[in-house]
């Protein structure tokens, strides 16, 4: 027997959800957000290399914030901390954010032996405040 469960906002009333099932992903909002989380960044990529990649994709001067989350241990040979594989970028316009997300999808960092491919999506928290 199927039973109706309370529906999250945006889900049509009366839609059947089976207990324990995974809800379908929500569609991207009509207004694309300007702050993105960047995922799948190889751990040895520096902030400077990330900035070079963003600019190289044609987005120089189109963002006002770029942050790469650093790791806690040092890589002995270089003396620098590895990153945690993700970062954040805030664009001046939602159109630039959307275009960058598309351009960064599947991106492979030059000089990296990592098999990771870049991905970007709207960040949960928007803006720099």
Give residue 38's pLDDT.
Answer: 96
Structurally, the chain folds into a number of domains equal to 1
Does residue 17 belong to any structural domain of this protein?
no
Range of the domain at 67: 40-122
- CA distances (Å), origin 28, targets 22, 112, 123: 18, 31, 12
DSSP string, 31-76: S--SEEEEE---TT--HHHHHHHHIIIIITTSEEEEEEEE-SS--T
Does residue 62 belong to any structural domain of this protein?
yes
Does residue 59 belong to any structural domain of this protein?
yes
Does residue 54 belong to any structural domain of this protein?
yes
φ/ψ (deg, to 5) at 46: -90, 170
CATH number at residue 95: 3.30.70.330
For the chain, 129 residues long, give each residue's pLDDT as a single digit of tens. Answer: 444 444 444 445 454 545 554 445 555 554 568 999 999 999 989 999 999 999 999 999 999 999 999 877 665 555 566 889 999 999 999 999 999 999 999 999 988 888 999 999 999 888 865
């Amino acid at each position: 027997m199927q039973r109706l469960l309370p529906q999250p906002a945006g889900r049509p009333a009366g839609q059947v959800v089976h207990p324990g099932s995974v809800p379908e992903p929500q569609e991207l909002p009509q207004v694309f957000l300007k702050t993105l989380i960047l995922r799948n960044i190889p751990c040895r990529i520096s902030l400077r290399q990330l900035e070079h990649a963003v600019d190289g994709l044609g987005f120089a001067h189109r963002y006002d914030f770029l942050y790469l989350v650093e790791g806690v241990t040092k890589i002995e040979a270089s003396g620098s901390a590895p990153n945690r594989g993700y970062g954040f970028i805030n664009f001046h316009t939602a159109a630039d954010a959307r275009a960058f997300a598309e351009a960064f999808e599947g991106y492979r960092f030059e000089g990296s032996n990592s098999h990771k491919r870049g991905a970007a999506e709207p960040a949960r928290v928007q803006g720099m405040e």
